[in-house]
Structure 1
Amino acid sequence: MNPISGDDDTKAPQEELNDFWEKLITKKPGKVTNIFPSSLYANLLPPQRQPSPEKGRNAAESYEAAADECRARIQFTDPEFDIETDLREDKNCLEGLMSWYDDPLPPQAPVSPGRLGEALDTLAKSKLLDAPTLLVNLNTAAGLLDVPQPSDSDGPGSVHRIDWIFEKPSFTVDSYSSSDVKQGANGDCWFIAAVATICSNPSLMDKICVAKDADCQECGVYGFVFYRDGEWIWTVVDDNLYVRDQDFDSYGDDYDPTGAKERKYKKNNQTGSDALYFASCVDQNETWLPLLEKAYAKAHGDYNAIIGGISGEAVEDLTGGVTTKIKTNRILSKERLWKELKQVNKEFLFSASSPGSYGDDSDARQGLALSHAYSVIKAVDPKDEQGNEQRLVLIR
């Protein structure tokens, strides 16, 4: 007998193995949900994240812990998702770490009109090209390249803070509304549809946007919480946003001694919600949607990661609820579904999506754009002039 461990040293190996399995096997049925002892987590996790020895935290406890942690972190900036530096260098916030794999050749730097003119002028002086022809080509090139305007396919043109983009920025203007939301250049209609669905209940939006007060707006840092993998997580982002157009005279070829041209350019191209590259609010000074989208992209890794998805899953991420997918051609009880639809934004949240294009349906099918997501706003059943009940669903 070992006096320290109490084990019997005289047991044969098979006896030791049999004893091990006898102790491990239990007569009470159940599931093994944790292979490590609870005491191990006490030294690895912060106090509010310690699991109970008997059971895990419920959703309410998880939410409060994430919200409190988010508010505590609001005083810090966001070096983890620095889109300003990223736009000039790796573009990891836009496209992810593997973007280089799909584009083995580095993009060529754009040529400004001024530099093109200098090159052509040098050729003219060298008499290697015919001068009249050269002048025509130069004028044509100058007309085409006067002020480079990047298209959506080229990516955002610049990055600026909210107080630079908006004249009178406000996180919300007259609260949240489904009519506020506008999808930008990213293919995240599924997320935008989920947000529009939840906007009908401002209290749910307030639970997502947990740090947005005047102090947050002054320091330019905002906090949000999302439901991921069975618990609530917090995300903090700064107020730098992608702008569609590049800065005035970004190549240094336009002489503007008074700054009048630059002010006019900024007013027309880089001011208000319409200037943003990604999602924006309809009101030209409302900022909550682009900040929420940025936080959601950060939680997933980058903006490219939220291209394409299922709106029901986005509703789960925003509310902590459980989504159910219903195919309209496989409804078992239409009456039951209609009763639930009439409770939209009361007991249920609904979103919808249309199938991808096929056959001759290239643009729309029964009035809906294909491969697109929608939010269900209202369901009513008024009577027409003949007294017949009509079932109408308002979607956006």
Structure 2
Amino acid sequence: MAPRKDTLPQEQVASFWQKYITPNPGKVTSIFPPSLYATLLPRPQSADSGASHVNFGAGYEDAAARCRAKVERLVRDCTRSNTKFTDPDFDIKGNRYDALFGLNWAPPAARGNPDAVEDALAALQQNGIFEPQELLHVPTQTLRKILGNEVLDEDEADRPQATEDYLPAPCAVHRVDWIYEDPKFSVDGYSSSDIIQGGGGDCWWLSAVATICHRAEVMDRICVARNEECGVYGFVFYRDGAFVPVVIDDNLFLKREDFSGSVNDPRNGKLMRYRKDFQTGSDALYFASCKDQNETWLPLLEKAFAKAHGDYNAIEGGFIGEGVEDLTGGVYSEVALEDVLFKQKLWEELLNKDKSFVFGLDLLDRSDKNGLANGHAYSILDAREEEEEDGKKVRLVKIRNPWGARVGAGLGEWNGPWSDGSKEWTPYWLTKLDYRFEDDGIFWMTFSDMLSTFTNLYRTRLFDDQWTVTQEWTGVNVAWLTGYLQHKFVVEVKNPGTVVLVLQQLDARYFRGLEGEYEFMLHFILQKQGAEPGDYIARVRPHGGCHFRANRSVNCEVELEPGVYEVLPKITARRDMSKPSVQDIVKTKANGKPEKLRQVGLSFDLAHSRAFKPGPEKAETGTSEEDGDGWETDKSGDESESSATEDGEEVKKQSNKGEGSVVEAVTAAAAEAQDGDGDDIDRETTDDDEDDEDLPSPWNAVGVIGLRVYSQDPEVAVQLAVPKNAEEASCVIQG
């Protein structure tokens, strides 16, 4: 609807922004109101877990101890009841689809089944719709070609691959000792050569596993407890700055359905052959498996990782650096290989003499690269600088594809210099590098070829008990127009040394389906407190500057002298209005998928408890007095409060007192500048414009961010500094 002619141009713009941007930004910070938690048992508290200032090793040990204790309790109960453990929270046999698919997942529309089409045509004939001579007789194989690959054939060789229109699913669930003839958790330790990717799209995560599994000391920190007889396995992962324990049972998904009982098989001979051929050993598994037919550690680790995130669908697609972080608690940096400044420095890091790093690669340019698969993640297993027979030095990198073998026409392994069978492999080099040609996904290439072939490198720094982790979290209103905010973190360093600073947002993969409409990209400036504008130590932005790339966190690693420093965040938001809002999802799924909503909603609430705490509820509505969502920000000024999580983890919530946004400040300033004229503008334009259907719902982006600081200085401290008033909040810093 067109504005009134007597409205000035500037007034029209002001009116638009007043409608487009909400004057009171807010977000859903809790799926369930506190009253729904009231009847639950008190959550056990732990003195060390999840504190804002904790030794890295102590934080891990606390989570590992809780994991071991839970496994011991479950084993006692299994022994008492004489039954194997079945995980009620991730029961893939009793609630298969919730374990496989996300909150908003819906099956694709089927394009047809040939046999069903033939039956339908016959039914039409029997009911007189067609005369016998008019009935179209189409052979089944022809129908298959017409209808596409939407039918599962009886023969494994004819089973279709996943397509956009068809998503295959596992067909059966059985326990480890049913599937494997002689199951062993590991055979000769952990190795990247064990890893075979299955039907899931988690190559990023499998590549992350491959980068660390040759480090037994790292893997042993992940798989912390198990009782194979009872089928109980305990793992420890890293989430949003804290270690978390995850316990699973030993049920696994299989590719093939169970043998049909309708087949005449009086002596079970057909049944036994069927099980032996299709449901026995690692090859029978639907998802990831080990190369050895009796080794079980990888599918169980993958299942635990899927459970931690809610379902197998939640771990589809990702970036290898994030996977290494989640497995180790390290911090990864993403480097565009064509942007590397000091190649010698990168090479020295790849040599990794002190084992402080692990590395991964990806290839995303969508063009053929001598046999390598595009849109795919790879692991760096080794880097070697060796002398040729004439004394000339050669820099070589050993890389692995998580597929574990070539596919199609040899796709998946490097075909250039130093590839398997190439002329560079003389007897001298085969002996020197102890290498054999195998179809195992492993290949060598030169350092220079790696730089020119792959797109990005993921460098993950690992930590031990020499490091202290300090962190603070808060909620931030993200304006439509953004710069570096006055809402900042203050870091005090007492002792000189290496400091790793990570600006992070909540990992939405843990509550996929409840992310909402907004996606956030993080930037920050590190500067000395009181520094002049532009006089910064480090300026950090997302890799590639696009939402497609990993945007869970950004970080920098710097050498700092004792002093006080500031981290100034900059957050940009993108809105996808095709996504349903959180409140709409809750209303829809509370009736449609209540079990799945309970599962994902609990993860959502636990994550957001870092920055928000439960507030008082109105008796008649069950909503908060403060903001109507059942939660409120901490009003305690400089004080902070701890709240235990369901795993016994304490989460420190920082004050948000005085928190404002650029949007609120601009709106308030505009109202003051009009000095009363704004009311007249509203009276003139409300009737015409207030209900303008062309306007979208107001901009209302609120994010949760935290600063995580790793230092070998045990006295390092982090505090949150918020604007004192709306005027200060509106002072955007351009960097």
Same fold (TM over 0.5): yes
Match for residue 382 of structure 1 among 378, 382, 386: 386
Match for residue 69 of structure 1 among 63, 66, 91: 66
Q: Distance in 2 between matches of 1:247 and 1:174?
A: 32
Q: Distance in 1 between matches of 2:152 and 2:344?
A: 61
Aligned to 2:207: 193
Amino acid at match of 1:47: Q
Aligned to 2:336: 327
Amino acid at match of 2:101: E
Match for residue 302 of structure 2 among 293, 307, 314: 293
Superposed counterparts of 1:241-252, under 5 Å: 241-249=252-260, 252=261
Aligned to 1:162: 176
Secondary structure at the counterpart of residue 263 of structure 1? helix
Q: Distance in 1 between matches of 2:59 and 2:102?
A: 29
Aligned to 1:226: 237
Asked if the contact 1:66–1:233 (Cα under 8 Å) also holds between the matched residues in 2, the reply is yes
Q: Once the 2 structures are TM-superposed, how far is the Cα of residue 203 of structure 1 from its aligned partner? A: 1.2
**Do the aligned partners of residues 85 and 345 (structure 1) sit closer, same or farther apart at CA in structure 2, a change above 3 Å counting?**
farther
Q: Distance in 1 between matches of 2:141 and 2:395?
A: 62
Match for residue 94 of structure 1 among 100, 125, 132: 100
**Do the aligned partners of residues 163 and 80 (structure 1) sit closer, same or farther apart at CA in structure 2, a change above 3 Å counting?**
same
Q: Distance in 2 between matches of 1:298 and 1:170?
A: 22
Superposed CA offset, 1:305-340 (max 9, x none): 111111111111111111111221111211111111
Q: Once the 2 structures are TM-superposed, how far is the Cα of residue 190 of structure 1 from its aligned partner? A: 0.8
Q: Distance in 2 between matches of 1:375 and 1:291?
A: 21
Q: Distance in 2 between matches of 1:366 and 1:137?
A: 42
Q: Distance in 2 between matches of 1:349 and 1:324?
A: 11
**Do the aligned partners of residues 259 and 138 (structure 1) sit closer, same or farther apart at CA in structure 2, a change above 3 Å counting?**
farther
Asked if the contact 2:185–2:297 (Cα under 8 Å) also holds between the matched residues in 1, the reply is yes
Q: Distance in 2 between matches of 1:393 and 1:306?
A: 28
Q: Distance in 2 between matches of 1:326 and 1:79?
A: 42
Verify: 1:46 aligned to 2:52, yes or no: no
Asked if the contact 1:152–1:185 (Cα under 8 Å) also holds between the matched residues in 2, the reply is no
Aligned to 1:346: 355
Asked if the contact 1:178–1:200 (Cα under 8 Å) also holds between the matched residues in 2, the reply is yes
Q: Distance in 2 between matches of 1:379 and 1:236?
A: 35
Verify: 1:217 aligned to 2:191, yes or no: no
Q: After alignment, is 318-327 or 292-301 more displaced?
A: 318-327
Point out where structure 1 has 5 or more consecutive residues left out of the alignment.
1-42
Q: Distance in 2 between matches of 1:51 and 1:164?
A: 38
Q: Distance in 1 between matches of 2:213 and 2:394?
A: 26
Q: Distance in 1 between matches of 2:141 and 2:360?
A: 53
Aligned to 1:371: 375
Asked if the contact 2:115–2:140 (Cα under 8 Å) also holds between the matched residues in 1, the reply is no
Asked if the contact 1:59–1:231 (Cα under 8 Å) also holds between the matched residues in 2, the reply is no
Superposed CA offset, 1:285-304 (max 9, x none): 00000000010011111111
Q: Once the 2 structures are TM-superposed, how far is the Cα of residue 248 of structure 1 from its aligned partner? A: 1.4
**Do the aligned partners of residues 165 and 354 (structure 1) sit closer, same or farther apart at CA in structure 2, a change above 3 Å counting?**
same
Superposed counterparts of 1:254-265, under 5 Å: 254-265=263-274
Q: Distance in 1 between matches of 2:50 and 2:155?
A: 60
Q: Once the 2 structures are TM-superposed, how far is the Cα of residue 59 of structure 1 from its aligned partner? A: 2.1
Point out where structure 2 has 5 or more consecutive residues left out of the alignment.
1-40, 75-84, 144-150, 163-167, 401-735
**Do the aligned partners of residues 315 and 82 (structure 1) sit closer, same or farther apart at CA in structure 2, a change above 3 Å counting?**
same
TM-score for the superposition, normalised by structure 1: 0.74
Q: After alignment, is 146-155 or 378-387 more displaced?
A: 146-155
TM-score for the superposition, normalised by structure 2: 0.41
Verify: 1:306 aligned to 2:294, yes or no: no
Aligned to 1:240: 251
Q: Distance in 2 between matches of 1:245 and 1:266?
A: 9
Secondary structure at the counterpart of residue 83 of structure 1? coil
Asked if the contact 1:223–1:235 (Cα under 8 Å) also holds between the matched residues in 2, the reply is yes
Superposed CA offset, 1:340-384 (max 9, x none): 111178232111111141xxx2xx314432111111111111122
Q: Distance in 1 between matches of 2:320 and 2:387?
A: 32
**Do the aligned partners of residues 273 and 83 (structure 1) sit closer, same or farther apart at CA in structure 2, a change above 3 Å counting?**
same
Aligned to 1:147: 154
Q: Once the 2 structures are TM-superposed, how far is the Cα of residue 86 of structure 1 from its aligned partner? A: 2.5
Q: Once the 2 structures are TM-superposed, how far is the Cα of residue 60 of structure 1 from its aligned partner? A: 1.8
Superposed CA offset, 1:165-213 (max 9, x none): 111001001110111111111111111011111111111111100112x
Amino acid at match of 1:202: A
Q: Distance in 2 between matches of 1:354 and 1:137?
A: 43
Q: Distance in 1 between matches of 2:188 and 2:310?
A: 31
**Do the aligned partners of residues 151 and 72 (structure 1) sit closer, same or farther apart at CA in structure 2, a change above 3 Å counting?**
farther
Q: Distance in 2 between matches of 1:52 and 1:329?
A: 39
Match for residue 177 of structure 1 among 191, 197, 204: 191
